[in-house]
Amino acid sequence: MGILDFLPKGVITGDNVLKLFKYAQEKQFAIPAINVTSSSTIVAVLEAARDSKSPIILQISQGGAANFAGKGISNDGQKASIAGSIAAAHFIRSLAPVYEVPVVLHTDHCAKKLLPWLDGMLDADEAYFKVHGEPLFSSHMIDLSEEPKDHNISTTKKYLQRAAPMKQWLEMEIGITGGEEDGVDNSGVDNTKLYTQPEDVWDVQRELSSVSPYFSIAAAFGNVHGVYAPGGVHLHPELLGKHQAFVREKLKTDHQKPIFLVFHGGSGSSKEEFHTAISHGVVKVNLDTDLQYAYLVGIRNYILSKKEYLLSEVGNPEGPNKPNKKYFDPRVWVREGEVTMAQRVKIALQDFNTINQL
């Protein structure tokens, strides 16, 4: 028995997302959520998932969405980010079935000042829902972790109320992910906020579960975006077990993992840290930095090794009239980045026990 016995290929939404995350908790695996910023990075990730017989989460950040739309477009009023994320969603929806894997189509951190981006995407979700009976995106993230707790929870609840009729998933954050990513700099944040308390997780669980079951919590356990030298990050994924125990006690349930948890800032973390987190109910691990680097590696190696063939359209070490077209064609060198990025995604799929789950 595998995932394709109960899930379709292509983008999944609603109860199918819930089934996937429940199954992941049961089988003790997590699904990598890879940030994609272009058609090229999207196909690289889909290829890795197909080759590894794994479900995958493709996620688009606000900046990544603007990049998808093209950096030449103004992002006033989040125009480029809204258009770019919608374009990426349609692109992913068209191609995901061809790669024959279930795909969760997700958007990344949305802080308070970016809420117009989320509003724009939800408009698109509702329009899509009217025609197709499901939202355009499987899920979104709202991140009001920098706001006071009550404001974070009450605003997140309002958004979940809007998403719930579409059975759309919402990921929220409580506690803060340190470091810097996509223009959000939390590198100076107070240390205690980097470790979420069980009471806070319970407050979220209680409030949101009164609206819908389609949500997950990114609770901070010392997570940091980016990759730092060893010793710079003190992750405590065992804290996640305390959250599960606390909520279990409050709910008086025997369900070992009553909450769906998300691991942010996965780049640079150890296999042991991933396994501990997964054992405590983490179903999604975010990876961005490591994949950005992996994409560069193939292109960098190509450019450096073929340098003499790339300095002019005609003329290389084999002769002054030798054409270089087959070396500078973007399909050749962009592909090198896709290959090394896909290799790195496959390592994540192995590390998170996602491989061969279809």
Contacts of 88 (CB under 8 A, 6+ apart): 36, 42, 60, 64, 65, 68
| CA separation for the pair 269, 345 (Å, rounded) | 14
Q: Which is nearer to Zn ion, 134 or 288 (CB)?
A: 288
Residue closer to Zn ion by CB (options 9, 264) is 264
The minimum distance between CB 162 and Zn ion, in angstroms, equals 22
Q: Which is nearer to Zn ion, 167 or 264 (CB)?
A: 264
Q: Smallest distance, Å, CB 177 to Zn ion?
A: 5
Closer residue to Zn ion in complex, CB, 181/200: 181
Comparing C-alpha atoms, which of 342, 221, 207 is closest to residue 274?
A: 221
Q: Which is nearer to Zn ion, 302 or 352 (CB)?
A: 352
Strands 169-174 and 224-225: unpaired
Catalytic residue among 5, 15, 76, 108: 108
Compute the distance between CA of residue 123 and CA of residue 303 in angstroms, rounded to an integer. 43
Residue 97: Cβ within 10 Å count: 14
Query: Do 290 and 268 touch, CB atoms closer than 8 A?
Result: yes
Measured from the CB of residue 69, what is the shortest distance to Zn ion in angstroms? Answer: 21
Question: Which C-beta is closer to Zn ion: that of 196 or that of 324?
Answer: 196
Could you tell me the smallest distance in angstroms from the CB atom of residue 303 to Zn ion? 30
Output the residue with the shortest Cβ distance to Zn ion.
264
Verify whether residue 5 is a known catalytic residue: no
Using alpha carbons only, how large is the chain's radius of gyration in Å? 21
Give me 308's structure tokens: 């003499």
User: Is there a contact between 159 and 142 (Cβ–Cβ < 8 Å)?
Assistant: yes
Chain positions contacting Zn ion, by CB under 5 A? 264
**Amino acid residing at 312:** S
CB of 57 to Zn ion, least distance (A): 13
Least distance in Å: CB of 212 to Zn ion? 22
* Distance of closest approach, residue 269 Cβ to Zn ion, in angstroms: 13
- Residue with smaller CB distance to Zn ion, 223 or 354: 223
Q: Any idea which residues carry the catalytic annotation?
A: 108
